[in-house]
A and B are shown apart, each in its own frame.
Chain A
Amino acid sequence: MIEVSNVTYDYPTKAGIVHALRGVDLKLEGGKLYAITGRSGSGKTTLLSLMAGLDTPTSGTVFVNGVDLAKTDQDRFRREQVGMIFQAYYLLPQLTAAENILLSYEIGKKKEKPDVNALLRAVGLTSFHGKKRSTQLSGGEQQRVAIARAIAADAPILLADEPTGNLDNENSRNIIAILKRLAHEKGKCVVVVTHSEEIAGEADVRYHMSDGRIEARD
């Protein structure tokens, strides 16, 4: 489904070029849950954003279903294929949790209106939380709303950047269960970046990143 081929990515900064990715090769398929671990700064977030089509690689290619992502309509690709959970949640503060979850529907990514309450319940929240602004929610609650927002899009590819970083064990497990179900039952390609060994253990395939490279596959 997604094939990352010899991809590098440089951030030009004032202090010089940061080589965030130094030649990454990956092959991801639908119906599987992938975990990417690695130390902070190893390039995980960068890799996810390249796979989401938010950026194009400095060199190398990201193929999606055999097509070079850089040469396709990336906006359309994201609209139709990608759901994403950000490390820093990125909830829109001016909107309620429910409205954040409904964003994908409003933008036209999804035809039918998703059941917000069901989504909230799925991530361990209630409709009560749905009415609140993100600023009135705790970090964990915000993270779960962000997950619900990504799931609501119902996209074939789901990229999650440390989705359980702020969650307690129970909620973490619950989220992982959902992601696993999405992969196994709905045939989505789910990629989870995580520090948690427990979550990584649940994945079908594990990758480890270090210094901009995929180091080991176990």
Chain B
Amino acid sequence: MKVFFHFVFRNVIRRPLRSFLCFFIALLTALVMIVCQTISQRVESALTDLEKNYPAVATITRRAVISPDGVKIPSSRYLTVDEAYPLSQSGSVKAWNITLPAGSLAQEELMGKLPDEEFLAEPPREVISVDDRVSVQAVNNLVLTEAFYSGESKIVEGRLFTSEEMRGGTRAIILSRNTARRYGLALGDKVTFDFENSGSFSLYRVVGIYESGKGTELCYIPLEDYFRDLCMLWPTGAHLDSVAARPDRVIRLDFLLTSPESGEVFIRDAQSLGFDLSAFDININDGAYFAVKDGLEGILLLSRIVFFSVLTVGTVILALIIWFFSSSGKNERTVLRVLGMKSAKISAMFASEYVLIMIAALSAALLSGGAVSDSALHFVERCALEEAVEEANAQEDLSERTNREIILKRKIHLSLIDGYEGLVGEVHAVSNHLEEGKIGVRREIFWSQSGAMTLLGMTDFAVDGFENTASFERDILSESGKLSGYYFRCYVPENSPYRVGEIIPLMPQKMGEALVFTGDLANGLYRGVLISSGLVVSGIYPPEAHIGEEFVLPMKELELMCEYLSISSEKYRSVRYD
């Protein structure tokens, strides 16, 4: 064995030309292969990284008509939340954001700073008028708003909304730095909104302050709170129109897709869900993604081609070198054979010489591979990727954004060395069904003998002024022994004419958009109504800031009631299952 390696080493050293050629070619081949492999790996991981983290958003906006003189006129038809819900249930949707009009709070609305004390039943004495520079936008995914998505707005103090806050009830608000400065507001301060001087107000706590490149002064609140406060605070009956119209004037819907590859699935889902594509545009901002992906795949293909060509060419050259030098090995073989060496051993020896050279070349390649790959990566990045990314970003030219009815855009920052810089911030996942125990409200307008009244179903009674009526059972069928049918218990406001134990008869009839129940059988207006039902007053609640003048009953009761009276929930947008 010693002799064997002695011979092998000696031959390798004593034939420098052959050894060097072999070493050089093998090293070169191995190096190029390592570099290509590294590039392929990086590109592959960049591709997965990009696919996993690229925030592809499908935006639904009103379809606009371009007038002959080139003016874009958005259709007067607004999206409604009803139209949006089915889409949010598409498997291709990870989260979504609804943008309600920024000016949805009226100009005269007030905003003021409160001392950090107990909730007051009275409006604050010192109120600061909200000037026309400040408006409120309700969002369910702040990160998916145009300003935050594009990176134009960034949180500078505090934080984004937490998932907890997004579920509503904690009333958090995020202000722009300018607004905060102007009103002397800091993190943790409480502000109030007075909605249309209704006398009801809500306290919001500042949890974050952002800075906007464009100097926007929007205040953001969680959509849940918007619904909860606005729906609850809004006077009933008379404001039926405004209640119905406001949350339904959805300017845009942004659906964060599970992957930029699932755009087609989303559109197919939208179609199969009966989404009216003639009235709305669906835009998906995956153009930049595909542009960059194309670039990456080009690099990947090229590096694979180079890998295999170099492997082939290197192998051929090495084979040629070995063949060329093998002629001189013939004599050596004869000499060694005469000296009694076994033929197999001689062959092994000759092979070992090349193996040794290859091992040396491979080791050298592996040792230097990291550094060489690094510079190669930089080179590829500079020469190929940067251009692709630039092109993709140019395609998504941020400066072109003139109105908010276009797709969300965000500059891509992708590096083979540092990876993909994803969307930072918390994007709240969508749960398509309301979580057990979380508050949700459903509003139905009914008519009783005395006029219109609003029934408010609530999933959770853990709200000031109510006892938890989870034990409230629907056990009052024929309770009175006088009326047959289903009866449902409710709380009535203090100022209503009803007293505890009283039965409010209801009968279903349609009138316009609202479902009308009436017990007014006397005038014979609603003949033929056979089903009788009613509400049993089980409690009276005091005037409360949170609730207007609704008749409150547990959500399950309201749902049963609607089912019993064949009121389809599709028809009535009153559910806010997020």
Contact = CB atoms under 8 A, between A and B. Distances in A.
B337 A107 contact: no
A106 interface: yes
Interface stretch (A1-9, A35-43, A89-97, A114-122): A89-97
A87 B331 CA distance: 12
Contacts of A93: 328
Contacts of A153: 339
Contacts, number: 55
Nearest to B344: A75
Given A94-B11, A94-B15, A95-B14, A107 B340 contact: yes
B164 to A, nearest CB: 80
Given A106-B6, A107-B3, A90 B337 contact: no
Contacts of A90: 331-332, 334-335
A207 interface: no
Interface string B336-375: 1111111100000000000000000000000000000000
B14 A94 contact: yes
A106 B3 contact: yes
Contacts of A83: 338
A208 interface: no
Nearest to B340: A79
A171 B457 CA distance: 124
Interface string A31-52: 0000000000000000000001
Interface residues of B, number: 20
B341 A107 contact: yes
A109 B339 contact: yes
- Among B3, B14, B332, B338, max chain A CB count under 10 A is at B338
B15 to A, nearest CB: 5
A88 interface: yes
B10 interface: yes
A103 B11 contact: no
Interface in B1-37: 3, 6-7, 10-11, 14-15
Interface of A: 52, 54, 75-76, 78-80, 82-84, 86, 88, 90, 92-95, 103-104, 106-109, 153
Interface of B: 3, 6-7, 10-11, 14-15, 328, 331-332, 334-343
20 contacts: A54-B338, A75-B337, A75-B340, A75-B341, A78-B337, A79-B339, A79-B341, A80-B340, A82-B338, A86-B334, A88-B331, A90-B331, A92-B331, A94-B14, A103-B335, A103-B336, A104-B339, A107-B340, A108-B3, A153-B339
Given A54-B334, A84-B338, A153-B339, 7 more contacts: A75-B341, A79-B339, A90-B334, A93-B328, A103-B339, A107-B339, A107-B340
